[in-house]
Amino acid sequence: MKTIIGVNFRRQGKIYYFDPVGLDIRRGDHVIVETAQGPEYAAVVMPPHEVEDEKITGELKQVIRIATEDDDDQIALNQKNEAEAIRICKQKVAARELEMKLIRAEYAFDRSKLTFFFTADGRVDFRELVKDLASVFRTRIELRQVGVRDETKLLGGIGVCGRELCCATWLPDFVPVSIKMAKEQNLSLNSAKISGVCGRLMCCLKNEAETYEYLNSQLPNVNSTVKTPEGYIGTVKATNVLLQTVTVVLQEDKDEKELREYRVDELKFTPGRRKKEAEDKDEQIEGEVKAENRESRDNRKNNEHREGRKNGENGEGREKRENRRNSEGRENREGRENREGRENREGRENREGRESRKNGESRRNGEGRDGRNGESRENREGRNGEGRKNGENRRNGEGRENRDGRNCENRKNGENRESRNGDNRENRNGDNRENRNGENRRNHENRENTAEAEARANRKFEERKAEVKAEAAEIKEAVKAETAEIKEAVKAETAEIKEVVKTEVNE
């Protein structure tokens, strides 16, 4: 067991625990305690008491001493200088044209640090401001940005109930508050009636939320069927949460209805779905709808990507089919050219064979005629040498003519082969060039289609981004306007309450 005391550094701050080290400390006293920031001045809110060792977490620091009159004077001087520090800091902020609202300044007990609290809509670059303040106050400067709830807690005020704000008096920490708590307590959902001075939902909605949740779970739902003690079957018209009563509509005749009020423990009904369960179910359904919307958006994006890939694949498939057709066409043309070349060669060989045979027969016939003519001439001329010489000369002349004819035909055949080969080469080269040009054109078209698809996707993304930005700006403006209206209404109501309180005090 250890003895501890509870202190706070502000009237509305959290409670911190220290070891009294045997000092005679009472509730309401002021003490000087050791903290991570140095010695601090604190007020005792819990007298010394014993707790189990298991309940103490972390290091338990000790109390230095009980505050003296000099310590009290030091705190009074610090508070006086804090007002002057706020005035100087506001001048520096105006000179730097920074969008920030100063709330409060606090000196450390030993004046080793000066802390300024401020609010702002976004992040503020106050590095130059810190340098200016450090040159004026000659101490360590800290600027701390807080929210609207903390601002109200530091400044204090009067709530719509006519009492001081809970956060400025006794509430140590802020608790999460939701609109569901107001629905559970059957309050009006008018933001001016359920919002506090800070513009947020009132913290006191949390105080009775669990009680209302339990009481609502004991009541039947409106429009549900119940059985009365008399044995009638009726419909729930309304319920009273605090009194735990139920108003039931009874149908006596076709045209007559009667309203009766019963205590909830007098009725018999099948426990239906409670309000909390219904709201949880609504939230679950809303979450499922949002998830489905996200999935649908993702599916649309995936489909667009798949369509783009399919178009690319179709373009590749078309290119492959065209390449196959071109290759098959080239093979067919080459096959036809080869067959035609073989046929032409065979035809030429056949024609040359027939011509050679004809030439051989003609030569043989010429030789036979020459022999017979020579013999006849020899017989007629007495077989003189002149006849033989003439026959030989004629044979030599015919042989030369035949050889010259064959050489001419061979030259013609070579020219024909060269012309056919040139035609074939020109045809093949032209086809190849046309195929390559077609393939290049198709590749260029495919690249252009891909670039257009990417440009369309980028345009859609930019349009959607602009729409989202515009929607966010509209929502922000609407929230600002609504917040301003709520603040104005709260200020007006606070002023009226203050006037009423002053009047009552004067009276």
Instruction: Report pLDDT digits (tens) over 383-399.
Output: 444 434 444 445 544 44
pLDDT score recorded for residue 371: 42
Query: What percentage of the chain carries pLDDT values higher than 90?
Result: 28
> Residue 154: which of 174, 127, 137 has the closest Cα?
174
Give the number of other CB atoms < 10 A from CB of residue 107.
Answer: 21
pLDDT score recorded for residue 197: 92
Name the 3-class secondary structure at 86. helix
For 247, the token pair is 């108003």
Q: Are strands 38-51 and 16-18 parallel, antiparallel or unpaired?
A: unpaired
Whole-prediction pTM: 0.49
| E strand or H helix that includes residue 5 | strand 2-8
Which amino acid is residue 249, in one-letter code? V
The DSSP letter of residue 159 is -
Residues 216, 185: Cα–Cα separation, whole Å: 9
Determine the angle formed by the axes of helices 209-217 and 275-381, rounding to 10 degrees. Answer: 90
Residues 154, 116: Cα–Cα separation, whole Å: 12
Higher-pLDDT residue of 407 and 143 is 143
Domain 221-270 CATH assignment equals 2.30.30:
yes
Q: Average pLDDT of 70-97?
A: 93
pLDDT band (50, 70, 90) for residue 381: very low
The DSSP letter of residue 120 is -
Determine the angle formed by the axes of helices 127-137 and 69-96, rounding to 10 degrees. Answer: 140
